[in-house]
Amino acid sequence: MKNAIYIISILLTSLGNKPPMNQADPSRILEELDKNIFSLDMEFVMKMEVLKNEKVKRTYEMRVVKKDEKMRLDILSPSIERDRRVLNDGDNMWMYLPRSSKLIKIPFKQAFLGGDASNRDILRISLVADYEVIGGLENIEGELLLKLKAKDLKTAYNQVNFYLDTKTKYPFKQEMLSLSGKVIKTIEYADYIAFDQGYFPSKITILDQLRKDSKTIFTYTDLSKGTNKTDAFFTTASLSK
């Protein structure tokens, strides 16, 4: 409840008051996005809701810790999945299954917990490492369009388009495109809250464009900058501890 009041009060006091990211070239904006949102060392609790026709079909809650090139996710609920853990150690993704004490390496493009997002969508660490800017910033009807292209075929999507707020340069929409240029998924960034002298989107919605009746909503709470977890916390051996 305290958190909710805190978030609401922050939102009310911060409306129209977002400190803009540095005005710079598109590459600079990409770096800022990466630094402030995607590859920030942090801890938070993430709620994931999978919806069909606006009705919640499945809800997960998990604690997430990000550090450098690594990310670990511990599922807190529902009861059936409690203590399942997922690790991106920079090169590989692993899932620890507490029921059988089994550790398995999982493919990047597998659907994350069956939802609209892939493992790579959720556990991606760095935008800069995977993508490079193509062209300049385009101003389309009051929105800035930043186009990115995959550096190699290892990434999940060939092209990514970011739609940015003209003043703050924070993203409010992201499109993921296939090799043929077709939009496969859309991500909406909303409910920005004050965080680390800037802002952070506390609600992210992933829409699968091939399945219009389905969407996955992620809500972030208990955000804290940095982490005191050591490198050992992000190893496969520590997943069972």
Partner 1 sequence: MKTTTLYTRIVLLYFLSTSTLSAQTEFSYRIINENVFTYNVFSENSLVNPDNLLQLNEQEIVNRFFPVGTFKKNEIKLQAEPKIFLNPLDEALEFAINELYLQYRVSDTFYATFGKKRINWGTANLWNPSNPFLQKDPFRIDNRLEGIVLTDLEYIGANFALNTIFSPAERLNRSTFAFKVSSEIRSLSYSFSYAFLGDEKQQFGVDFTLGANKFTFYGEGVLRNFSNSRLIDSEGLPEIDSIQNGFKNRDAEFVVGTMLNVLPRTILIAEYRYRSDFNNTESIENFKAFLPNSLPGYDPISMGQHSFFGQLNYMDTYSKYNISTNIFYDLTTNQLLCSPGLVYNGDDFKVEINPFIYNNSLSIYDFQGRVILSFFL
Applying CB under 8 A, which residues contact partner 1?
50, 52, 57-59, 77-80, 82, 89, 91-93, 99-111, 113-116, 118, 120, 154, 156, 211, 214, 230-233, 235-238, 240-241
Query: For partner 1, which is the closer residue by CB, 12 or 232?
Result: 232
Query: For partner 1, which is the closer residue by CB, 95 or 133?
Result: 95
H or E segment and range at residue 17? none
Q: Which two tokens stand for residue 93?
A: 């993704």
Query: For partner 1, which is the closer residue by CB, 105 or 182?
Result: 105
Query: For partner 1, which is the closer residue by CB, 3 or 92?
Result: 92
| Closest approach of partner 1 to the CB of residue 139, in Å | 35
| Closest approach of partner 1 to the CB of residue 80, in Å | 5
Q: How far is CA 124 from the centre of its chain?
A: 7
Among the listed residues 238, 241, 240, 236, the one whose alpha carbon sits nearest the alpha carbon of residue 88: 236
Query: For partner 1, which is the closer residue by CB, 81 or 165?
Result: 81
H or E segment and range at residue 44? strand 42-52
Upstream peptide bond of 78 is cis (omega within 30 degrees of 0) = yes
DSSP symbol at 233: G
| Closest approach of partner 1 to the CB of residue 226, in Å | 17
Q: Which two tokens stand for residue 114?
A: 């069956």
Q: Give Cα separations from 5 to 1, 17, 63 (angstroms).
A: 6, 19, 21
Query: For partner 1, which is the closer residue by CB, 33 or 156?
Result: 156
Do the Cβ atoms of 156 and 120 come closer than 8 Å?
yes
Spatial distance between the Cα atoms of 178 and 158, rounded to a whole number of angstroms: 5
